Amino acid sequence: GENVEQHPSTLSVQEGDSAVIKCTYSDSASNYFPWYKQELGKGPQLIIDIRSNVGEKKDQRIAVTLNKTAKHFSLHITETQPEDSAVYFCAASKEIYNQGGKLIFGQGTELSVKP
Amino acid sequence: GAVVSQHPSRVICKSGTSVKIECRSLDFQATTMFWYRQFPKQSLMLMATSNEGSKATYEQGVEKDKFLINHASLTLSTLTVTSAHPEDSSFYICSASRDRGLGQPQHFGDGTRLSIL
């Protein structure tokens, strides 16, 4: 079945450094790849997403890259800050027009940014 | 921006009780909503897809009679955990996206922490 692998499971960086989280998906028909940030006791919050017709997308300190051939996508956070500390999830989906496609989530990465 | 509201945020109840959780899209219509379950330190596992006006689609291994889903309007889906037992204790989260073409992200509620004693 559909599967999304996410690495690493934990990541600790110094404030100001960059953080990279990588995901691999199994279903080549997946066409939508969101990233979510989840803080303790809260629901996931969308931070950036990318569709399969785009190779890279950037929003301030956050960027996502997609390699469709290798079925890899990655999240890049630059100039990390303590408030970036949270659990990050990647996900893959096959979107259907006018309907939400179900998300298959990776296992999550617990990011810790040390001051 | 899009907001999904989930209620209640926390429930503590005795074994055998049925518990209803509500998920509302506050500023958009959502034909489809999703229900997830999350155990501590783990990822989100899709339980079912809730479809307005029709039966929910359950993922493999999820008991339909245990987890009743009703999507009565374009802004409200409910999940009822029937005859809950301690093993049903978990964090339940819903999500919804706008019914408009492609590229509509799923927005999540803040979850319901269910504790069965």
Reduced 3-state DSSP string for B22-69: EEEECCCCCCEEEEEEECCCCCEEEEEEEECCCCCEECCCCCCCCEEE
Q: Which tokens belong to B70?
A: 């009703």
Say whether pLDDT at B1 is over 90.
no
Mutation to test the B interface, candidates A9, A31, A46, A51, most B Cβ within 10 Å: A46
Compute the nearest-CA separation of B11 from chain A (Å).
14
Tell me: the pLDDT tens digits for B2-15?
689 999 999 999 99
pLDDT, residue B54, reads 84
Contacts of A6 (CB under 8 A, 6+ apart): A21, A22, A23, A89, A90, A106, A107, A108, A109
Say whether pLDDT at B27 is over 90.
no
pLDDT, residue B103, reads 67
H helix count then E strand count, chain B: 0, 11
Q: Average pLDDT of chain A?
A: 93
B104 near A CB under 8 A: yes
A8 near B CB under 8 A: no
Q: How far is CA B27 from CA B22, B53, B76, B98, in A?
A: 16, 20, 12, 9
A53 near B CB under 8 A: no
Tell me: the pLDDT tens digits for A106-115?
999 999 999 9
A103 near B CB under 8 A: yes
Dist CA B26 CA B48 (whole Å): 21
Dist CA B116 CA B102 (whole Å): 39
- C-alpha of A95 from chain center: 17
pLDDT, residue B98, reads 77
Compute the nearest-CA separation of B40 from chain A (Å).
10
Antiparallel, parallel or unpaired: β B32-38 and B90-96: antiparallel
- B32 — pLDDT class (breaks 50, 70, 90): confident
In this prediction, residues B34-52 reach a mean pLDDT of 92
Dist CA B40 CA B82 (whole Å): 22
Contacts of B93 in chain A (CB under 8 A): 43-44
Using the beta-carbon criterion (under 8 Å), do A43 and B6 form an inter-chain contact?
yes
Using the beta-carbon criterion (under 8 Å), do B42 and A108 form an inter-chain contact?
yes
- C-alpha of A23 from chain center: 7
- C-alpha of B37 from chain center: 8
Contacts of A32 in chain B (CB under 8 A): 102-103
